[in-house]
Amino acid sequence: MANLTSKELTAIEDQLSSEQTMIKKYQMYAQSCTDPQLKQKCEQIAMKHQEHYQKLFNHLN
């Protein structure tokens, strides 16, 4: 993998932060849902953002 510029690193760090925020929000939404289908959808969205986070994080290693 090629070395990332400082601008690229900053962009990845910003996106990682955004993904963490989305993970936390959708986990919170899932916990507060009483509708099982909506709860499941929120959990799925949180997991998708977790996947995004992991893919981005792997670019830093």
The domains of the chain are located at: 12-58
Each residue's pLDDT tens digit, 11-47:
999 999 999 999 999 999 999 999 999 999 999 999 9
What pLDDT is recorded for position 3?
84
Comparing 58 with 51, the larger pLDDT belongs to: 51
What does pTM read for this prediction?
0.87
pLDDT of residue 61: 76
CA-CA distance, 23 to 49, in Å (whole number)? 6
pLDDT at residue 1 tops 70:
no
User: For the purposes of burial, counting CB atoms within 10 Å of the CB of 17, is it exposed (0-12), middle (13-18) or buried (19 or more)?
Assistant: exposed
